[in-house]
Structure 1
């Protein structure tokens, strides 16, 4: 005679759920998280908040140091804590000295940068939007192969192109001229790529077909219909290129030697180098205050256009 051995469940435990065929299973119910399925600390809400806080500090602390240092006199610059304001709050005096030194050379650098970045990025955006619209809506032989070359230009960093651009400008007689820095800023391959994406998201093909049926040419269709519809993308590309040209440093450093043609970044570098190599503390203060002034146009422009920026960056997110 054989005896059937039964497994006794420990006290306090719940019986395993039964299957439809009457058998039991020891698998945990779906939806319950065991210790191994708990989210990691970095992916938890507190971890994400801490990482965002560190990123905010990394972004804001240099700006805070710049603002507080701009309020100091030459004597207080190295004698006080970096995150302490100036004792006499000399910001107004520092700004006055900034715009008066060397017959107002900083104001000239600022105007040069506005021309390089403002006019250059506006024209570059128009060319990029037109090219992206063409790649998206028009058909012509070799379109995808040509677009592949555009994407190749996106992958090449701008610093790697500075020396070839200098050699080309030297043969064309554009070295140490306004056009030697202005013309390269008109080419923006990443803007062409973005414009094609925005064109596919914002401009329906049916609207263009209706305009062509009504007798509108391609140029008129682009200017009157496509361009207003792609306005958020236009602003987004403009801000990208404006920031890139405004922060450009290596190309003007290679291309220019005349101080009257310097953009503001290169001029600030000259003052900072003079403070380090020749021991002029007033040049160090000029570089700090000038850096603060050079950031203001970017902040103002972004605040003015952030509504279009947000709508442009979320293009295609909601269908």
Structure 2
């Protein structure tokens, strides 16, 4: 795979004497200790991370963990005092901290687009005008701008609202305007800073579904900040968990839940609903017991099929689900297997 964004030992310090704070970072001191001794604020410490083209990587952590600060380093909006940031462009990788003002301006218009928690819409403008605002700033001709705005409004199902003022829309619809504006620029990389956290749970879930559907069609690279564990596990291909400015663990949802790097991560995911991250391969019955089952197989699934999909299939047609890999049945799943798999998971966590 190709890297879209790479952080290489990135440290971010807020304050007038970052070198003093960096010495304590190298000694492994905590954010509180650094703040007490130097008056500096540690934003991020020695973060190394690669986001691949076309993946959704979620930066996860409690408030103050550094996730939003690291996100802002992608387009040069955080005070990086050590390390390198590399962002892929058609002309080759760019470090937003080591490029000209013109290149940085073009980079922010055409390569990286941001979606904010508070929508950042212009209330005196219409929906269509808000969607096209970035294109307007980039001096895109009016005819081309209108075409691209129309495409994005159709994508997010807001075509009939194009000429309404944004304050006439619900919160969920306003956030879809924000998504359409980000998509309209054509930027391959989206930075999303807790974009759904201000919305009620039902609207948030619907927008998560829509984001995943957009991603299947558009294949953007998305760096997504969240403090919601269920949201992170639902949309992230991988998750990077941060604490006190440091990346503690990065991996798939399954890797993190099954093999937490330390007690902090284990505590963090302890209340995660395992149904949301287990797969067919995690609960299937293999070997002689599976092949000797007298219950007919009522459907097939891949080992990576989410457990929630298996539950849905069994609810519609009880029996056994065959787990197929490379054309061969390697196991079966029934309701009892699922119960036993969930019990094993809970015993392991306890």
Give the TM interval when normalised to the shorter protein: under 0.3
Structure (1 or 2) with the larger CA radius of gyration: 1
Q: Which has the higher contact order (CA 8 A, sep 6+)?
A: 1
TM-score with structure 2 setting the length: 0.21
Which protein is richer in strand relative to its size?
A: 2
